[in-house]
Chains A and B, each alone.
Chain A
Amino acid sequence: MGDQPILRINALTKRFNEFTALHGIDLNVRDGEFLAIVGPSGSGKTTLIRLLVGMDEPTEGAIWLRDSRIDAVPANKRPTCMVFQSLALFPHRSVGQNIEFPLKLRKVAPATRKARALELLELLRLPASYYDKRIDECSGGEKQRVALARALAFDPEILFFDEPLSALDYRLRKTLEKELKDLHRRTGKTFIYITHSLEEAMVMSDRIAIMKAGRFEQIAPAAEIYARPRSRFVAEFMGEVNLFDMVDGRVPGLRFGPRASNLFVGQTGTLVVRPESVALLAPGEEADVALEGIIESEYLLGSRVQYTVAREGAAPVTVEVLRENAVGGPGAPVVMGFGTSACHLIAPEARDAAA
């Protein structure tokens, strides 16, 4: 993985009439990286990818591919390509013809084209007999592989993905996520992957960029985003989370032990605690931070149990424990606690910051 960025985005803005879809965003993508861009629908990720592949032009700002500025270059002149959400396989062409399409456009000799297509079929673990198959005879997963093979035949500098797995069922998606990561490793190409599913992004990518309302909220490796979200939005987006508003080192309803009191003295912000970091305390057991409530509901999550615990005068807390540590059902009063190492404090000014 080289240090020189392959793609640089500089103050990129896109406006549609009144509506601003992207607010002057910046991004550097390293050569050979697998970057996932994650955000809810309407966050601007689709607009961004359309600008990156050249389907649209930015209102302001620049896109650099290595040393050349490409934001005004149309998609058919850019050395990048995309795997579409719909896959956009040509229904009137066979599997082989689909894969060879970019080579045919470049006037590559038929024999060379076919050889390359067969190589790619093998790379994607499709039998060579698929060369003559019709697209509508392929299953969902096979189509996915054909689309990938076609994009690889183009030999792009950067391969973009626009949620190509979103239409597949859960198990197939899981298999293909692994295959895609494996393919990334084997080809050494730069992958930029757009998705609304954080789970997908976490499995595959080196770094995740989280988008909200046309801005990046945070760009970092998955583990860091999970442990140290930069904003409430990121914290909540990364899954089930408990958030407590802290003012001057105190949170109503939370009892701080000496270590927590020292750590948070004078601090203001939002305290982030993941449900699996919260423990149910046995009578007399101590914790850095303790709180109490009454179990409202109980959900079984395989080997774990999740409780929603109601608290008087405060928002409910979500707790997730191993099944063997479960303590009775709704109505039971409980005392909960967590350590300072499991806490992360989001400073209030960090909320609006973009990466």
Chain B
Amino acid sequence: MQRRDRQLGLLYALPIGVFLAVAFLAPILLVAAFSTMPPKVFSIWNMPDFSAYYTVITQGYWKTVAWSLGMSMAATLILFVVCWPLAYGMAKVFGRFSLVLTIGVVMTLFVSENIRLFGWVLTLMKGGLVEGYIRAWTGTGFDGLLYNVPVIVFGLCYVYLPFMLFPLAQGIAMVPEDARAAAFDLGATRWQIFREIELPLAMPGILVGSLLTFVLAAGALAETKLLGGQAVIVIAEEVETAFTYGQNWPLGAALAMVLIVIVGGIAIWGIGRADLDRMMGRR
């Protein structure tokens, strides 16, 4: 039985394993190779000179990296605070309503991110839903709410809310009801239960949710472009610009590598710590 399990496991893992090796790992290695090339070449059969990294360091790209990471960190923190009560409700209080909520939130994931962000543009712009109606009712309008840093963070929060909400709810559901009741019985207040019991026991969910949000937000592009206008430039946009307008693949690859190393490092660290079997409910 066990021998057969081992063979079947390997066999069934082959299709997706091979596919990801060819279409995911190989392209990343290629990016790594390209990032060492001299400027503006379109093939990896050149002498590596690592000049792209020199450009990345000297040309002030650290600023865009800092903006990306800073804004995604802000979005992660805000989302944690916003999602905790809701996740708590879904895991412990709602019952049937939590299914409604789940379906309602999942459905938004199926709508192209562009369309939803565009909807926010229509909502928040001068002459948009908010400003337009306020002007119509009160007679005085304002300049619209777009094209600044807070609105980009807002957009990140909006788009990545489900990625925080669901892991968090999963994490809270993993807190045994008895552990909370026992702490309560032993004299803990609500706040003490949160700090001593729920927070540490829901940590796997908190970790996955925060990582997912942070990592996805760090590589985000559309929020800045559609909502932020020219307020700031993020790393993903620099990568895109280097590839398209700049026609400088090595520079784009080097910038991409910076993002990949940061994001990949965090992701691998986080994924390595989570016990997937337990989180997903293996018997």
Contacts and interface: CB of A to CB of B under 8 A. Distances in A.
Interface in B164-204: 176, 178-179, 181-189, 192, 196-197, 200-201, 203
B183 A101 contact: yes
Contacts of B189: 76
Contact of A54 (B178, B182, B185, B196): B185
A54 B197 CA distance: 19
Interface in A35-93: 53-55, 74-77, 81-82, 84-92
A171 interface: no
A269 interface: no
B186 A84 contact: no
B217 to A, nearest CB: 28
A150 interface: yes
Interface in A174-209: none
Interface string A119-161: 0000000000000000000000000000000110010000000
Interface in B114-147: none
Contacts of A90: 179, 182-183, 196-197, 201
Query: Among the interface residues B178, B185, B197, which one has the most CB atoms of the partner chain A within 10 A?
Result: B185
B201 A76 contact: no
A105 interface: yes
B15 to A, nearest CB: 37
A331 to B, nearest CB: 48
Query: Among the interface residues B182, B188, B192, B196, which one has the most CB atoms of the partner chain A within 10 A?
Result: B182
A88 B176 contact: yes
A84 B181 contact: yes
Contact of B186 (A55, A74, A81, A92): A81
A259 B197 CA distance: 68
A105 B181 contact: no
Contacts of A102: 186-187
B181 A88 contact: yes
Contact of B188 (A82, A85, A89, A105): A105
Contacts of A154: 186-187
Contact of A88 (B178, B187, B192): B178
Given A76-B188, A106-B187, A154-B187, A91 B178 contact: no
A91 B176 CA distance: 10
A91 B187 CA distance: 18
Contacts of A92: 200-201, 203
B201 A91 contact: yes
B130 to A, nearest CB: 44
Given A91-B201, A105-B192, A76 B185 contact: yes
A320 to B, nearest CB: 41
Query: Among the interface residues B187, B200, B201, which one has the most CB atoms of the partner chain A within 10 A?
Result: B187
Contacts of A54: 185
A354 to B, nearest CB: 28
Contact of B179 (A74, A88, A106): A88
Contact of A84 (B178, B197, B203): B178
A82 B178 CA distance: 11
A55 B181 contact: yes
A53 to B, nearest CB: 6
A209 B186 CA distance: 26
A84 B187 contact: no
A90 B200 CA distance: 10
A236 B176 CA distance: 37
A86 B186 contact: no
Contacts of B186: 76, 81, 101-102, 105, 150-151, 154
Contacts of B176: 86, 88
Contacts of B200: 92
Nearest to B197: A90
B182 A84 contact: yes
Interface string A13-39: 000000000000000000000000000
A53 B203 CA distance: 29
B187 A105 contact: yes
A75 B192 CA distance: 14
B187 A76 contact: yes
Interface string B241-261: 000000000000000000000
Contacts of B178: 84-88
Nearest to A79: B187
Interface string B45-62: 000000000000000000
A76 B186 CA distance: 6
Contacts of B197: 90
B203 to A, nearest CB: 8
Contact of A75 (B185, B201, B203): B185
A163 to B, nearest CB: 13
A54 B181 CA distance: 10
Contacts of A105: 186-188, 192
Nearest to B193: A76
A88 B182 contact: yes
A55 B183 contact: no
A347 to B, nearest CB: 42
A35 to B, nearest CB: 19
Query: Among the interface residues A53, A82, A92, which one has the most CB atoms of the partner chain B within 10 A?
Result: A92
Nearest to B185: A75
Interface string B34-71: 00000000000000000000000000000000000000
Contacts of B183: 90, 101
10 contacts: A53-B185, A76-B185, A76-B187, A77-B187, A81-B185, A87-B178, A101-B183, A105-B187, A105-B192, A106-B187
5 closest A-B pairs by beta carbon, nearest first, are A88-B182, A88-B178, A102-B186, A92-B200, A75-B185
Given A74-B184, A84-B181, A92-B203, 8 more contacts: A76-B186, A82-B185, A84-B178, A86-B178, A88-B182, A90-B182, A105-B187, A106-B187
